[in-house]
Structure 1
Amino acid sequence: MGDSLTLAMTQSRQDIRPKLVVLDDDPVTRSMIARYFSDEGFHVREAPSAAECRTLLKASPPDLLFVDIHLPDANGITFAQEIRASSQVGIIFVTQRDSEIDRVVGLESAGDDYVTKPINLRELMARTRSLLRRSKQSSGQPSHRSVITFGAYVMDMTRRELSSKGGKLIPLTRGEFDLLAALVEANGRPLYRDFLAEVVNNRTGGGEGALRTVDTLVARLRRKLKQAEGDETLIITMPGIGYRFGRVVGLT
C-alpha cells in the first residue's frame, strides 16, 4: 500500500512538471541543455533530428520546444512552421546562426523567442519560464476585458484570437499577440520599446537585440492587419519612445 501511494505521488509530481523537447543534432549541446533543465525540474526529452522530434511530439505533446535551425534532415525554421500550423506549443530557436535575417525570419514564421549559441543557460531558463508563464496566464481564468473591439477587429483575450468583425481569423504568433494585447490594453498611452521588450522577451533593459525584436513584431502586425483590412494606422510610432495604439478600444 505504501509503495503504491509513493509511486502514485511520484507520478503525480512528474505529470505537473513542464515538458520540454530539445531538438539539436549536436549531442554535447543537447545533453547540456537537457541535463540543466532536468535538474531544474523539467521533464526533458531529446531529439537529434526533425523525424525523431515528430515521433516524440506525437507520443506526448510538450509545453515547450527548443529548435536548432541547422538539422540533418530539415531546416529548423521550416520544421517550426510545420509544428506551428497545428500546435500552439512554445517554440524557442536555440542556434548558432545569429544573422539578423535568420532572427527575423525565425520570429516572423513560428518562433516565440530566439537565442544564439554559445548558450547562457540561466538566460535561457529565464526566457523559458517567462514563455511558460505567459502561456499559463493565457489559458487561465478569463480577464474582465476578455473580448475587446477596435476598428474593424475583435480581440478575444481568453481564446487569444484576433479576427475581423466579419469573422475572418487573423493568425498571430504568441509574441505578436502579447505585444498587440499590451498596446490595446494601454488604450492609446505610449509604451516604451524597453517595456514591450519585457512583455515579449522578459528582458529588462534587453539591449538592441530585444528592441529589434519589438520592431520586427510591430512590422509583422502592421503587415497582417493591413492585409486583413487595409489598415495602416492601428500601431503608431512614437519617435524616441516606442509605440501606441491608434484606435478607441471598446469592451463586449
Structure 2
Amino acid sequence: MNNPESRASPAAQSEAQPRLIVLDDDPITRSMIARYFATESFLVQEAASASECRILLRQSTPDLIFVDIHLPDANGIAFAQEIRASSSVGLIFVTQRDCEIDRVVGLESAGDDYVIKPVNLRELMARSRALLRRRMLDRAPAGHCSVVTFGDYVMDMTRRELALRSGAQVQLTRGEFDLLAALVDAKGRALYRDFLAEVVSSRTEMGDARTVDSLIARLRRKLKQGGDLGDAIVTVTGIGYRFGLTVGTS
C-alpha cells in the first residue's frame, strides 16, 4: 500500500485534483495505472487487497476507485457493493473478467463503468474524466440554478427530469439527458463532437461522433412533443452542436 505522495508530484498535490485509489492485487498493473494517472495530476493511492483499501477509505474520501474483481481477500463486485452502500464515490471495474454476468451484476449493483484488461491507459483516462465530469454535473454547486426553462419545457438538472410545462414527462435516456444538459449549460456556445462524446460515454461503451449524432437525432424527435422546436439544437459545421433557444430559470 502506497502513500499518495509517492506517486503524485508536488504540483499535483492540490485539493482541486481528483483523488484515485487503484485496487488491484497485480503489482505490475497497479503500478502502471498509478504512475500514468499520477502524471495526469491525479492524487493516487494503491491497494493490493480489500482490507488495504478499507484503511485508505477510513483515512480520506477518494473521487474515484478502480476495482479488480479478483482480489486475494474478497470478491471485487461484493466489495464494490460494500463501498457503494456508504459512499457515492465513482467506481470503475478494471478486470480480466470479460463475463457478461459479472458486467451486468457489477454495473447494476455498484459500478459506474467496466473496463477489460489489458488496459488501454488513454481510454481508461477518458472514461475516468467523463465519469468525474458527469458527477460534477450531478452535484451542481449551491447557487447554481438546477431548474431551467426553454420553449415549452422545464428541465430539472438535479432530479434529471425533462417535462412539458403542462406537467407531462419526457422520457430521456441517461445519454440523451447528459447531452441535452451539456448543450443547455453551454448557453449557446458551440460544443465539439469530441467533447460531447466524452460527456455521453456510457458504462458499456465509449461515446463517439456517431453516438453523438444519433443522440442528437433522437433528442430532436423527442423535443417535437413541445411543438416545433426545430432550432433547439443547431448543427455547427466542422465543430458539433449548440443550443439555439433562450434558456431561462424557474
TM-score normalized by the length of structure 2: 0.60
Aligned to 2:118: 118
Residue identity matched to 1:58: R
Q: Aligned residue for 1:225?
A: none
1:34-53, aligned counterparts within 5 Å?
34-53=34-53
Structure 1 pair 177/19, CA: closer, same or farther in 2 (3 Å)?
A: farther
State the AA in 2 paired with 1:40: E
- In the alignment, is the contact (CA less than 8 A) between 1:69 and 1:76 conserved in 2? yes
8 Å CA contact 2:80, 2:91 repeated in 1? yes
Offset of 1:61 from its aligned partner? 0.6
Which residue is 1:26 aligned to? 26
Structure 2 regions of 5+ residues with no counterpart? 1-9, 150-154, 162-171, 182-195, 212-216, 227-248
> What is the CA–CA distance in structure 1 between the aligned matches of 2:46 and 2:175, rounded to whole Å?
31
CA drift at 1:206: 9.0
Q: Distance in 1 between matches of 2:82 and 2:156?
A: 25
Q: Helix, strand or coil: the match of 2:14?
A: helix
The AA in structure 2 aligned to 1:89 is V
Contact preservation (8 Å) 2:23, 2:65? yes
Question: Given residue 67 of structure 2, which amino acid in structure 1 is its aligned partner?
Answer: V
- Say if 1:36 and 1:102 are closer, same or farther in 2 by CA, change over 3 A: same
CA contact (8 A) 1:94 1:114 kept: yes
Task: Could you tell me which runs of 5 or more consecutive residues in structure 1 were left unpaired when the two chains were aligned.
Answer: 1-9, 149-154, 163-175, 186-194, 211-240
Q: Aligned partners of 1:90 and 1:204: how far apart in 2?
A: 18
The answer to whether the Cα contact below 8 Å between 2:197 and 2:209 also exists between their aligned partners in 1 is no
Identity of aligned residues (%): 58
Matches within 5 A, 1:194-233: 199-201=200-202, 203-205=206-208
Partner of 1:65: 65
Aligned CA-pair RMSD: 3.8
SS class of match (1:14): coil
Amino acid at match of 2:40: E
Measure, in 1, the Cα distance between the counterparts of 2:197 and 2:35. Answer: 32
Q: How many residues align?
A: 185
Give TM-score, length-normalised by structure 1: 0.60
Higher fraction of helix: 1
- Partner residue, 2:189: none
Query: Is the CA contact (8 Å cut-off) linking 1:198 and 1:206 kept in structure 2?
Result: no
Distance 2:60 2:198 in 1: 32
Cα distance in 2, alignment partners of residues 198 and 70 from structure 1: 30
